Structure 1
Amino acid sequence: MGINNQSDAEANLQIGPTDQGMVRIFVESHGAEIPMDFEPDEALEIAEEIRAAAMMVKGSR
């Protein structure tokens, strides 16, 4: 599956700080749990990438 392939898959997404000073993105879908921990600087880079992608989509409408 690529980034441009549509899917009917559903997932729960949680994002928050951990007690270890990391930022966790936690994805749960159909019983599978994927915790992904990032250093704060990495999390800010991810946030910037998400924002840039949203702005690209918003600008193309």
Structure 2
Amino acid sequence: MSINKESDVGGDLQIGPTDLGMVRIYLAADNGNEFALDFDPEEAEDIAEELRAAAEAARAMGARPAPKGKPKPR
């Protein structure tokens, strides 16, 4: 799946520290798949910088909020 391909799968994202001093990104998809990704604090800061850069690029392209519900057929 490319990063630009739309998907009907929704889910939940949680981010927080673990007891071992890592930063966990926890993803739970509506289809039952769950993923826990742990990063050391430096890696988490790198990810945060990448998110900010992607947000800036999307804003520059005139990004719109994701549509609610199922996407329209093309």
Give me the identity figure in percent.
Answer: 52
Question: TM-score under structure 2 normalisation?
Answer: 0.78
Q: Which runs of 4+ in 1 moved over 3 A?
A: none
**1:1-59 per-position Cα deviation (integer Å, ceiling 9, x unaligned):** 11010111101100000010000000011222100000000000000001000001112
Question: TM-score under structure 1 normalisation?
Answer: 0.93
Q: CA RMSD in A?
A: 0.8
In terms of fraction of residues, the more helix-rich structure is 1
* CA–CA distance in structure 2, aligned partners of residues 52 and 11 of structure 1: 23
Larger Rg: 2
User: What residue in structure 2 maps to residue 23 of structure 1?
Assistant: 23
Count, aligned residues: 61
Show structure 2 runs of 5+ residues with no match. 63-74
User: What residue in structure 2 maps to residue 59 of structure 1?
Assistant: 60
User: What residue in structure 1 maps to residue 2 of structure 2?
Assistant: 2
Report the residue type matching 2:3 in the other structure. I
